[in-house]
Structures are given as C-alpha cells and as structure tokens.
Structure 1
Amino acid sequence: MPETGAQSLAERIEALFRTVRRPDRTPYSNEDVARACRDASGETFSATYLWQLRTGRRDNPTKRHLESLAAFFQVPVTYFFDDAESARISEEIALLSVMRDAGVRDVALRAVTLSPDGLGIVRDLIESIARREAERQPPAER
C-alpha cells in the first residue's frame, strides 16, 4: 500500500526498490541499479552513492542521476519531485506488483470476460472480504 503525504527522495527511491523487481521477483541490488545507471548515463554512479540516496545520507543528486534512476525503474522523472505524481505512480507500481502474483493474475484474466454487472459483484465481494480481514487484525496492525 502506498504511503500518504510527502515523501523524501530516499523514501521514494526505497519504494521503487521494494516494488520493482526482476522478472523472477527477486529485488535489484544497489550494484545492479548503479551499473545500469552508469551504462545509461555515462556518469559516475556507484552502488555506495545509490545506497546513500536510498538511506537519505545524500539528498541532492544531479538531474542526470535522477533521469537514469527514472529510466531504470520506468517511471517519469517527476516521480521524484511531484507529490501527487509520486502518489499516483506508487499506486500503479503497487498494483502491478500485486498483479504479478499468479493467483491475482489468474483472477484478473478470468474477470476480462465478465459483464459490467459481474465485475461489480466481484468488486463488492473483494471489498467485503477486505473489510472482514481488516476487522480481524489486531488494533496495532491496522
């Protein structure tokens, strides 16, 4: 679930690392991303520098570094600056991440053939189940 409110640059980069994965669902390492950014931009971009950006120890990257990160994670560079755009993109990334799960993908593919009324019933069922599961969670986890 995407976070609400303004996020720091480090939080936005970290969110990309948490949700954008390799095809086999394993996370990218700092070195993987730094290497791809070096190759794309021709700029110096080390795994240590990326770690510093992810942890907030550095927070003023060059425009080319942000463009390289945006290209690697396939998001517009505005993701790093615009709160509304960042929130919208975070929601899309989270949805895509969930859709990669085989069970969710299977349900979505089957739903394509349903009528609008049938889709409404499925949506209502999912919302009802989600509410019930949320009510079962201990208060500290809600």
Structure 2
Amino acid sequence: MAASEPGEGVEASVDRSRWSLADKINNLFDTIRRPDGTPHSNEEVAAAMAKSAGNSTISASYLWMLRRGERDNPTKRHLESLASFFDVSPAYFFDDAKSRAIADELALVKLLADAGVTRVATRLGGLSPKSLSHIADIVEHVRAIEGLDTSPRRPTDRESGN
C-alpha cells in the first residue's frame, strides 16, 4: 500500500511482510478506534504519547508525516509510546512475524467490535489452550442460561485455512 493518505486502510490481501512503517501505523489508526467507533486523531495520539513519554515528545505533524511515509525513522521511544497508546506490543514495529500476528489479531478484533466483544477478545491473546477451553465452556454455559444456541460452531473452510 502506498502511504499516500493517513487513514487509508491496509487491505487484508496486502502482504504484511512488506509493510512499511507507515502501513503499520495506519493499520493501528484504522483498526483501533475510540469506544464510539470514530478514529483517533493525530493530535489526540501525539498528545497522549507526549504525556506518557515524559521528555520525549512527538508532534501531530510529525505523526502525520510518519503516516504518509514522509518520515520513517522515529525513535525507539516514540514507537514504544505509540504501541502503548494502541495497547499492542512494541514488537509490532520491530519484528515482522510479530507484526503479522498482531495485525491478524487486530483484524479479528475489528470484526468482533461490531458484536460488542472487543474487550474480551483482546484479552484472550497469550492464554494457554487449556484456559481458552475453560473460557469457551463458560461462554457456552452463559449462552445456555440466556436461552441461546449452544451447539458448537464449526469454522468454515476459509476460517480454518482449508
């Protein structure tokens, strides 16, 4: 994706192994939204980053240039602060494999946001298979209590990668 305009989404078909820094930053802005669903502004993010980073500030215009690909060498502290604002691991910016995994998780979270389960979904990352199984059991129990369908849902071929 050319980083021509901040806020232009990175399509799912894009090879994430070739993402530029601008693509990664724009993906965060496009995927992680305010509770009301609106995107965060450069000004808002820069102000929060400056507040959390102490003496290492970043301007909204510099963030805009990063998002456009006009600058591509922020400090490590800036990237860590940006990761902190969007509540992702700093590895998102430094490790291509982690970047792809985190981007995939974010894409799932964005899909789940419409269903009102974003907070739960974001907290599942890193849990053991045993813990995930227990959580699935709890969800099925609550669905039964509320009189909802409890039959196991099988993933489609597309979801399972077949």
Q: What's the offset of the Cα at 1:123? A: 2.7
Relative to structure 1, is the Cα distance of residues 104 and 62 closer, same or farther in structure 2, using a 3 angstrom cutoff? closer
Deviations 1:109-141 (A, max 9, x none): 9x9318xx932xx334xx27x79xxxxxxxxxx
TM-score with structure 1 length normalisation?
Answer: 0.74
Is it true that 1:24 corresponds to 2:51 in the alignment? Answer: no
Residue 50 (structure 2) pairs with residue 50 (structure 1):
no
Q: Which amino acid aligns with 1:112?
A: V
Deviations 1:62-83 (A, max 9, x none): 1111111010011111101211
Alpha-carbon separation, structure 1, partners of 2:97 and 2:139: 30
Task: For residues 76-120 of structure 1, give each alpha carbon's deviation from its aligned partner in whole angstroms, at most 9, with x where no partner exists.
Answer: 111012111001000111111111113788xx99x9318xx932x
CA 1:86/1:54 → structure 2, altered by over 3 Å: closer, same or farther?
same
* Structure 2: tracts of 5 or more residues without a match: 1-11, 122-135, 142-149
- The 5 Å alignment of 1:43-122 reads 43-102=56-115, 112-113=139-140, 118-119=151-152, 122=153
Q: TM-score, normalised by structure 2?
A: 0.66
Letter in 1 for 2:65: Q
Between the aligned partners of 2:112 and 2:76, the Cα distance in structure 1 is 32
Q: Percent identity?
A: 52
Letter in 2 for 1:92: E
Mark the runs of 5 or more structure 1 residues left unpaired by the alignment: 132-142
Distance 1:13 1:79 in 2: 10
Give me the whole-angstrom Cα distance separating, in 2, the residues matched to 1:103 and 1:24.
11
Cα offsets for 1:4-55 (capped at 9, x unmatched): 2221111000000000000111000000100000001122211100001111
Alpha-carbon distance in 2 for matches of 1:7, 1:79: 11
Give the equivalent residue in structure 2 for 1:41.
Answer: 53
RMSD: 2.8
Q: Which residue of 1 aligns with 2:145?
A: none
Report if the CA contact (8 A) 1:10-1:53 is conserved: yes
Q: Given residue 47 of structure 1, which amino acid in structure 2 is its aligned partner?
A: A
Secondary structure at the residue paired with 2:151?
Answer: helix
More helix by share: 1
Please name the residue that 1:3 is paired with: 14
- Distance in 2 (alpha carbons) for counterparts of 1:73 and 1:23: 13
Runs of 4 or more off by more than 6 Å in structure 1?
none
